[in-house]
Amino acid sequence: MTENQILEKINSCFSKVFDEEFEFSKELSRENFGNWDSMHHITLLVEIEKTFGLRFDGATASVLTSVDNILTEIQSRLN
């Protein structure tokens, strides 16, 4: 799966979880996206797990706080 294909799927997960307009990019993070709170974080990670067939432990989940970190983690597991 290419980086763009992974990003498209991550974007789809974000769209399902966040019911608002936002500019999706690799720079999107909890720090610069106000509605990405702890409840949305859990919901987002569950959606990503379902989409990619992955499971994240607590330590990994705690660092997946940006699109770039999520992308890197997914790429490392799919390759």
Structural domain that includes position 64: 3-78
CATH number of the domain residue 60 falls in: 1.10.1200.10
Distances (CA, A) of 60 to 21, 31, 35, 50, 68: 27, 18, 21, 16, 14
pLDDT by residue for the chain (79 residues), tens only, comes to 999 999 999 999 999 999 888 999 999 999 999 899 999 999 999 999 999 999 999 999 999 999 999 999 999 999 8
Confidence at residue 79, expressed as pLDDT on a 0 to 100 scale: 81
Closest residue by Cα to residue 68 from 15, 31, 22? 31
A 10 A CB-CB count for 14 gives: 20
**What is the CA angle 9-14-20, rounded to 5?**
140
How many domains is the chain built from? 1
